[in-house]
Amino acid sequence: MKIDKSEILALMIEQLRADLATLEQAVAIARDTATHSDCLGSSKYETMGLEASYLAQGQGTRLLEVERSLEYFKRLTLVEPSSPVISLSSLVLLNNVEGECQLLWLAPEAGGLKIQYGELIITVITPRSPLGRALIGKAEGDGFEITIAGKDRSYEVSAVC
C-alpha cells in the first residue's frame, strides 16, 4: 500500500476539527451547569456547581490544546525528507521484537491522536514522550531499547518517510 502523507494530514485535520466541535459543546454544557441556579448549593456540602466548574476548566484546557494542534497541522507544509533521519513530521514504521508493527507520526502536538488510514492505524507521538524522544535522530534499520512504564522494550525502525 502506498502511503500518501498529505492524505494522512487531511485526516488528522478532519479528526481534530471533529474533536474541537465536541469539546466546544462539552465546555458550553459544563459552563452552563456550573452557573445554573439549581447547581448553586444552599450549603457548603452541596458542591455540584463547584465540581462542574472544575470540569469546565479542564475541558477548556483540553479545548485550547486541540485548537493549538489543529493550527499546527493546518499550517504544516509537507516536504520530501532531505535525509533518512527521523525528525518532526516523519512517518515511522516501527517493529518490536515480537514482530508487532506500529505506524507513528512524530509531531510537536496532538500526541495520542489515532487516525484510520485504510487498513492502517497511525498514532501521533510527540518528542516529549519517551518513545518520541528515543526516535529523534534514528534512521531506517536502527534498533534501540527503551524502558516505558517500567518495562524494557526493543524496537527496530523499519521505514521512515
**How many Å apart are CA 62 and CA 86, to the nearest integer?**
28
Q: What is the CATH number of the domain that holds 145?
A: 3.10.50.30
Domain assignment present for residue 81? The answer is no
Residues 101 and 142 in one domain: yes
Q: What is the pLDDT of residues 59-88, one digit of tens each?
A: 888 889 999 999 999 999 887 766 789 999
- Return the SS3 of 9: helix
Domain assignment present for residue 149? The answer is yes
Q: Residue 89 corresponds to which cell in the numbers above?
A: 513530521
Contact 101, 93 (CB under 8 A): yes
Residues 102 and 71 in one domain: no
Q: What is the pLDDT of residues 90-107, one digit of tens each?
A: 999 999 888 889 999 999
Residues 68 and 108 in one domain: no
Contact 23, 66 (CB under 8 A): yes
What predicted TM-score, i.e. pTM, was given to this entire model? 0.81
Strand arrangement, sheet containing 114-117: 114-117, 120-125, 101-106, 91-96, 151-160, 143-148
